[in-house]
Amino acid sequence: MGKFMISPHMRLQEWVAEEKGYFIDEGLDYEFRSVNRGSNSIKSAEEVPPDKRRGAYQTFAGGGRSCDISSACHWTVNMAAAAGNGRLWGEAYSVTPSGIYVPPDSEIQRPEDLANVPITVGYQSGSHYSTIQALEPFLKPSEIKLHFGGMLFQRLELLVDREVPAANAFGGPLYLVEQLGFRKVLDTTFMVAAMVSRDSAPEDVRKCYRALKRAQADIDLRPERYTHYYRKQFPVRFHDMMDTRRFGPGERIVFEPYTQDMYEKTQEWVRLWEIFTEEHAIGAGYTEAVVQSYE
């Protein structure tokens, strides 16, 4: 078996665990791969056509992110695991701050003002599901309008450049748009789950999570010491406008089980909103799709 591959993805825990040597302390034979986002994103205010939409689910369906453990919103990881594209790690989940933001001078003040307003999100990604879920108490389904504007930093560019009226932001981009004066109209905080390769040894994943648990405690205690790592995850065009000292801790890992009840209620909600085609209507059950603590 080769080295355990670890790659950060818009959160701080992996960076802190690497800095502090926690992966080594756990005896994990690993390789740390950071993502290079040095170039600008290619953005367009035109909605991505249905046949070219790509998001977190398509990443997993296409073979994943070339690492042994990768996180995304729990809806997508749930559906991808049910379809056999890896297994959901059932021994922990995360929660990430998220929100729908508008420019400072926007006339949109309340969630109800978002009726029939195109909100820029990523296809079958956390921003997609969380926008719908957060707007359910305020709008009729027919009034929720989504604009599929590409991946995370493409959507950030569209919002910062005032090319869309509203967008969902989370992670580092959330802190940047707040720093730039954009207003949060509605909180859309959501759950994140982890996908592990079917070839990954569960004990290696547990070693990784023990290291991340130590990192989480460090972040909880002194988050300002680690927010500089966000800069490594942003395209260069944003660097001059960022002050990561003003950023917050972002996604927080919760070391509690992702339960069968969570799994099944998520499947039910996704089917209710018809976010996936009929071919995904029936997938693997919890026991097959989720790695559980007794394995």
Q: Do 81 and 107 have their domain in common?
A: no
Q: Do 177 and 243 have their domain in common?
A: no
**Mean pLDDT, to the nearest integer, of 278-294?**
79
Which residue has tokens 């800095």?
A: 19
As for how many domains the chain has, the answer is: 2
CATH number at residue 195: 3.40.190.10
Q: Do 27 and 72 have their domain in common?
A: yes
Question: What pLDDT shows up at residue 295?
Answer: 54
Query: Is the per-residue pLDDT at 254 higher than 90?
Result: yes
Q: Note the pLDDT tens digit of each residue in 77-112.
A: 999 999 998 999 999 999 999 999 999 999 999 999
Geometric angle at alpha carbon 139, from 191 and 114, rounded to 5°: 85
Percent above pLDDT 90 for the chain: 76
Instruction: Give the residue from 189, 205, 227 where a domain finishes.
Output: 189
Residue 125, CA atoms < 13 Å, CB-side half-sphere? 23
Among 17-31, 43-57, 136-150, 176-190, the range scoring the smallest mean pLDDT is 43-57
**Mean pLDDT, to the nearest integer, of 235-246?**
96
Question: What pLDDT shows up at residue 222?
Answer: 98
Q: Do 39 and 103 have their domain in common?
A: no
- Specify the pTM: 0.92
Q: Note the pLDDT tens digit of each residue in 198-220.
A: 888 999 999 999 999 999 999 99
157: three-class secondary structure by DSSP: helix
Query: Are the C-beta atoms of 146 and 131 separated by less than 8 Å?
Result: yes
Confidence band of 41 (pLDDT split at 50, 70, 90): low
Q: Do 70 and 198 have their domain in common?
A: yes
Strand duo 190-196 + 252-254: pairing: unpaired
Query: Are the C-beta atoms of 179 and 159 separated by less than 8 Å?
Result: no
Pick the most confident of 26-35, 66-75, 237-246.
237-246
| Residue 258: φ, ψ to 5° | -90, 105
Query: Are the C-beta atoms of 243 and 102 separated by less than 8 Å?
Result: no
**Mean pLDDT, to the nearest integer, of 7-35?**
94
Question: What pLDDT shows up at residue 67?
Answer: 77
d(CA 1, CA 201): 9
Q: Do 68 and 214 have their domain in common?
A: yes
Q: Do 107 and 83 have their domain in common?
A: no
**Mean pLDDT, to the nearest integer, of 45-74?**
77
Query: Are the C-beta atoms of 71 and 192 separated by less than 8 Å?
Result: yes
Q: Do 177 and 220 have their domain in common?
A: no
Residue 179 burial by Cβ neighbours in a 10 Å radius (0-12, 13-18, 19+): middle
Q: Do 44 and 124 have their domain in common?
A: no
Confidence band of 39 (pLDDT split at 50, 70, 90): very low
Domain extent at residue 139: 98-189
Cβ neighbors of 210 (< 8 A, separation 6 or more) are 22, 26
Instruction: Give the residue from 138, 171, 189 where a domain finishes.
Output: 189
Q: Do 40 and 132 have their domain in common?
A: no
Percent above pLDDT 70 for the chain: 92
Confidence band of 59 (pLDDT split at 50, 70, 90): confident
Q: Note the pLDDT tens digit of each residue in 152-189.
A: 999 999 999 999 999 999 999 999 999 999 999 999 99
Question: What pLDDT shows up at residue 38?
Answer: 46
d(CA 262, CA 43): 35
Q: Do 243 and 195 have their domain in common?
A: yes
274: three-class secondary structure by DSSP: coil
Cross-strand pairs, 291: 89
Alpha carbon distances (Å) from 239 to 26, 228, 233: 34, 11, 10
Q: How many H helices and E strands in the chain?
A: 10, 13
Question: What pLDDT shows up at residue 267?
Answer: 92
**In the numeric block, which tokens belong to residue 267?**
């499947």
| Residue 147: φ, ψ to 5° | -120, 115
Instruction: Give the residue from 189, 208, 243 where a domain finishes.
Output: 189
Q: Do 37 and 170 have their domain in common?
A: no
